[in-house]
Structure 1
């Protein structure tokens, strides 16, 4: 299944993408795509529905993040061997774990705001794991039992703040709009091998990133187990799993960074695509 949430920010409704690509309203079947709805039993109930029996959603509504009720937006750094090489970083011996602010979460096609005084905003297409059931201290052999499915993520990053300003990575990762997720949650039964998915990111029509989850250092199973020993994962939590090569920071001879008025288009095979426009900070 491809599950989604549509409508204005804060007012999203649950939906399902049918075989024809039309959105069907799930609000009569489930309050939201959160909690028990993401468990194996909850997903089985949704899968048993006849999409044709659900109300069709007219037009092309805004898509929000495909899950609600998130407590943690976890990220794994330097998790692709070829990306680590382009940054000159050594291969990590254990997963590098950091958190994005939940305020960074946004819809797959929402604008990305270049923060005030930012000079080095960058893109990162990533496979996002969506948690379906509570996971704490989970062994690797049972880790997949806690996965509801997958989505596309963009781990937008301000490199100066992440790397050059001291302290943790978090302040370069958690800005408003820096965590687009979607367009939908694809349930894990439709993704036979999450370690064999091609992925890309274009900026203004130019291919910047092209890679595959085959080059991940730590796979999905390992990541879920590892993180669960430090952070209890809850239904609706999202784990970004790292990015392939081609980020702006790694471009030669000179890095390339985002500026207002650009368009990012990114996607992962079988999981859909996102398109975001970059806009200037307009706050006080």
Structure 2
């Protein structure tokens, strides 16, 4: 009965059988049948059904008022009664940062989907402002604090940056320093909404002095892989996350520059559309572990 109560609460909250079936990714006919089963079990009419409406009856409203804040508790009972792998189903739309996810999340996703075979993921590798209240995404990991003050966020990772190029670039153009940055060619990042990232905050490791250089650029690129190709032309310096570069640095494919300075970390925050959806919470927990390594 707990799972039928969970479905009832979702339909009542959505005030729509159609919307609830979309959120849960189950057929309306199945959802309607489960509600009917609950009504039969309780011997109560919970919804008044017409051709155009699906409204709570008085007993239905009283029941919903009792359980509307306990969807998590209901789902917990379901989890205890059944294997969670069989309970978690539906579809989630997720936004992840393009570059960092390449080494932090994507190599591990197969473990998550293998554990929950009835769950489908739509993953958008993007990085821009997002308002989860409009329903575009169920879960997002973004850099920077969002503008919406009401959006609950959680800091999950601080990523170190590094400026890098090929050894051949150094041979051609020399090593950049804080005094000659604009004599060098940087390929800078272009965020999905059009913001150009050509300014950084750096701290001198020896004396703690802070610098905020803004570099001239000829190319701003929104795709990490294309940025790499531009750097590999031996004509540009790029800036990206140290997590991504480490293997290539070890093989001496790239070298770091401005090593006397430490870039300000880029903080990544997790946002959830709702706090009480077990599917979103499980996926959020998995992604956070991917970033933290715990």
TM-score band w.r.t. shorter chain: under 0.3
Structure 1 or 2: more strand by fraction: 1
State the TM-score, normalized to the length of structure 2: 0.22
Structure having greater relative contact order (Cα 8 Å, sep ≥ 6): 1
Which is richer in helix?
2
